[in-house]
Amino acid sequence: MPRTPLHLSLLLIIVTACTIPAWSQDQPAGEVLGTISGFIEDSLSKETLVGATVKVNGTNRGGFTNKSGYFSISKIPAGTYTLTVTSVGYVRREYVVTLARGEARKVRIPMRQSKSTSKEVQVTADRDEGKRQVSISQVNIPMEQLSQIRIGGEADIFRALQMLPGVLSSSQISSGLFIRGGSPDQNLVLLDGMTVYNPTHLFGFISAFNNDAVKDVDLLKGGFPAEFGGRMSAVLNITQKDGNRDKFEGLVGLGILSSRASLQGPLGNGSFFLGGRATYLDLILNVIPEDPESPFPNFNFYDVNAKITQNLSEDDKLSISGFLTRDALSFTQPGLLFNVGIGNRATSARWSHIFAPDLFSNVTVSASRYDNGFAGNNAGFEFSIDNSITDYTVKAEFEWFTAEDFTLKFGYEGAIYNFQYLQNTTGRTDGSTQTQSDVFQLNIWDNIHGGYAASTWNVDDYTTLQTGLRVNYWGDRQELLFDPRVAIRYQLADGVFVKGAWGIYHQYLRLASSPDFSFFDTWLPTDNSVPPGRSQHVIASIETQPFEGFDLNFDVYYKSLDNINELRQNQRQTRSVTDVFYIGNGRAYGAEVFLQKKMGQLTGWIGYALGFVYSQFDSVNQGNEFRPKFDRRHDLKITAMYKFNERWEVGATFMFQSGQSYTGATSTLGGRMPGWDGGIVMVNPSQRWGLRLPSSHQLNLNVNYNTTLFDLPFRMFIDVFNVYSRRDIWFRFYDTSKAIPSVTDVRLLPILPTLSCELRF
């Protein structure tokens, strides 16, 4: 393995560390200053809180908790101080600390959840108190709101994210995320630091993440910092629950599509969480009378989340996480048989260590495997395809609170990939009983390394500057790539901030997938036949609070997309990546408006996005630029949730979008052989994705009722998907089975009411 990446990573860290402003290391002569650091946690479960703000009253000092719930505030003179701690959904807490001269004081501050729906001021969280990050194009939705957005009785993270402006899907039944012109494979999906390659179930109908197991969800739609690499468009960073450290508790939920259960509680010097979910659609289909001429497919899935957390010492915590999913589909009818199997297996071990009050670290070792298999028999022609990607990754991340106004993050990430692909077809030769087989097999190993350093500098009371550089080394091509990134935030007026970001992003992996059917995705490396993908982000934003409790953001962005891919639909022989994909370029630009209310009886958001996406491939559409299928010009999203009292809650989501693009037809060509009653009709396509389907819109409603059953908390959920039953068009095709071809629309789901419930114990 080359030594160059490690040497460059160390050099990068040293160079960036040397840029620390000289004044940040100064302190008044003769005065020894102290540090207050520690964790913010839930008072009942002892679960650490992400993104809580901590302010030292009477000073301009403050901080916020990272993904581990840790904060550090340095350069504090000796004295007695009151810390004000705020977090969305929790009662504001004031905590008194007495700091001796030069003392490094560690605290653990419990926060009480707010049960009030009328006194909104109690849970108000000032997002600017002590924050060190620019947070451009970053959206964090409280888990309580995420759990209320349901489909088929299931709360779903991806469904909630699709209700954000600039986040699109290919259809109503897909949970794949197209973010600001990028395809789903351009999104980095992390679960406790491990990469998840296929985050969906049910052919994309719901995601593979069980809401019960999730503590925090962050979506970075663009301009993300140097600590994230390997993807061109966006980052979805999900943190699983550690589990209740104080007592055992569990949950059982029953729904139309699936059921779920979870258990958590104290374990040793820490806690555990175990959750699972499974569908029983196959059992339901078994009791439904079946038409032999039109049989039902047999389908089932399950997923399991597990996590164990142990405090090894006051400064050391070890977390072991696991994630397992499996989907299976089989279908049999005369002359046709096929089976599909898809699964994820991932595990990670993370060691969190506090070297000093101002130096925090995470070391993560993870393994992730995504595999799929497809086998069948069509009129004696047998075929099978097996594909997998295995990812072994190690990450070392350091966060150094060098001074009150300067924070440095640096680290190293190395990954070894194994791609396997096996295709086997067997059929009879013409006019004989002999069979012939065709076997194609790939087994590719590759390695990628990255080192990064990023700083956040509060230049003055009005300006925050964030800079970073990521160096990537690609083992297969022995190629070195540089990703510089910069972001800035300036306080234009009281409560009004102007933000900007620019960055370069590279990607090595590519996904072979049809835009309509995502159940058999194949990940491939960027081999020597094609260059790596590259994007450049330019973002400008205005952020303000027009009313108490409301956040308002305006974003404009431009994204260049170089060396992107388009699947070669009819390719049969593949020996390199260029045989699978057309390689071209693209661009995306647009504007977004987002108004959000996180607290009070009425919560939710309104978002609108105006987006333009264009692609260009020399071998597609005669080399002319075209808009991709997932381009939607106008995108309006409204989400509202209202809590009447402790028993009743109602919610609604509404979306209106421009129709998707599709490829039309200019003419047809027919032919007939002598003595043959049949014929062949071919459709001559028009411009690639040159036409649009009608606009789509949909209203969903849900009602939640909270009560008790056997003196245990019990909740019932009624949700109505597609209230006024508008069946949008999934895709449009040309039926050439008749003499005169016709246009046929395949439509999506009608109104779908469901009932589900959950019992906590």
Convert the pLDDT of each residue in 471-490 to its tens digit: 999 887 788 999 999 999 99
Is 190 strand, coil or helix?
A: strand
**Cβ-contact 304, 322 below 8 angstroms:** yes
Q: Per-residue pLDDT tens for 426-440?
A: 765 444 555 666 776
Report how far residue 71's alpha carbon sits from residue 87's, in angstroms, rounded to the nearest whole number.
Answer: 13
Task: Report which of residues 549 and 120 the model is more confident about.
Answer: 549
The pLDDT assigned to 157 comes to 82
Structure tokens at 477: 């091509």
Confidence at 516, pLDDT banded by 50, 70, 90? low
**pLDDT over 70 percentage in the chain:** 81
Please give the pLDDT value at position 710: 87
Select the more confidently predicted residue: 132 or 244.
244
Sequence-distant (6+) residues with CB within 8 A of 455 are 16, 19, 20, 406, 407, 408, 409, 466, 467, 468
The mean predicted confidence, pLDDT, of the chain is 82
Average pLDDT over residues 169-192: 82
% of the chain exceeding 90 in pLDDT: 36
Residue 26, pLDDT above cutoff 50: no
- What pLDDT score was predicted for residue 174? 65
Q: What is the Cα–Cα distance from 372 to 341, expressed in whole angstroms?
A: 5
Question: What DSSP element (H or E) covers 284?
Answer: helix 281-286
- SS3 assignment for 322-362: EEEEEEEEEEEECCEEEEEEEEEEEEEEEEEEEEECCEEEE
- Which of 509-523, 578-592, 603-617 shows the lowest mean pLDDT across its residues? 509-523
Domain positions in the chain are 32-123, 138-760
pLDDT, position 487: 95
| CATH for 32-123 (3.40.50.300, 2.60.40.1120, 3.40.50.620, 2.40.30.10) | 2.60.40.1120
The architecture that CATH gives domain 138-760 is Beta Barrel (2.40)
User: Which of 146, 133, 77 is closest to 105 using CA atoms?
Assistant: 77
Average pLDDT over residues 415-434: 71
Q: What is the pLDDT of residue 24?
A: 43
Place of tokens 């209310």: 597
Average pLDDT over residues 201-206: 67
Q: What digits encode the pLDDT tens for the residues 614-625?
A: 999 888 888 888
Higher pLDDT, 38 or 256: 38
Residue 575 CA to residue 526 CA, distance in Å, equals 13
As given in the structure block, the two tokens for residue 481 are 């790539």
Q: Which helix (H) or strand (E) holds 110?
A: strand 104-111
Confidence check: pLDDT of 345 > 60: yes
Query: Positive or negative, the Cα torsion across 351, 352, 354, 359?
Result: positive
Q: Where residue 59 falls among pLDDT bands split at 50, 70, 90?
A: confident
Band (5; pLDDT cuts 50, 70, 90): very low
For position 129, what pLDDT does the model report?
A: 44
| pLDDT of the residue at 580 | 74
Spatial distance between the Cα atoms of 700 and 594, rounded to a whole number of angstroms:
20
The model's confidence at residue 589, banded by pLDDT at 50, 70 and 90, is: very high
Spatial CB neighbours of 37, under 8 Å, sequence gap ≥ 6: 70, 71, 72, 73, 104, 105, 106, 107, 354, 357, 358, 401
pLDDT for 117 beyond 70: no
pTM of the model: 0.85
What is the predicted pLDDT for the residue at 334? 64
The confidence score (pLDDT) of residue 126 equals 43
Cβ neighbours of residue 213 closer than 8 Å, sequence gap 6 or more = 240, 241, 262, 273, 275, 305, 307
Average pLDDT over residues 638-666: 88
The full DSSP string for 632-685 is: -SEEEEEEEEEE-SSSEEEEEEEEEEPPPEE--EEEEEEE--TT-S--EEEEEE
Identify the pLDDT of residue 2. Answer: 41
Q: Is the pLDDT of residue 528 over 80?
A: no
Please determine, for residue 144, whether its predicted confidence score (pLDDT) is greater than 60.
Answer: yes
Question: Which among 395, 314, 405, 412 is positioned nearest to 357, based on CA atoms?
Answer: 314
Q: How much is the average pLDDT of 486-499? A: 91
| Residue 309: pLDDT over 80 | yes
Cα 330 to Cα 91: distance, rounded to the nearest angstrom: 51
Q: Is the pLDDT of residue 225 over 90?
A: yes
pLDDT above 60: residue 17: no
CB–CB of 488/465 below 8 Å? yes
pLDDT exceeds cutoff 50 at 81? yes
Flag whether pLDDT at 299 surpasses 80: no
Tokens representing residue 191 in the block? 């679960």
β 359-378/336-356 pair status: antiparallel
Give CA 280 to chain center in angstroms.
Answer: 26
Query: Does pLDDT of 27 surpass 60?
Result: no
Burial of 618 (0-12, 13-18, 19+ CB in 10 A): exposed
The closest of 325, 12, 84, 102 to 194, measured between CA atoms, is: 325
Rounded CA-CA distance 251/761 in Å is: 6
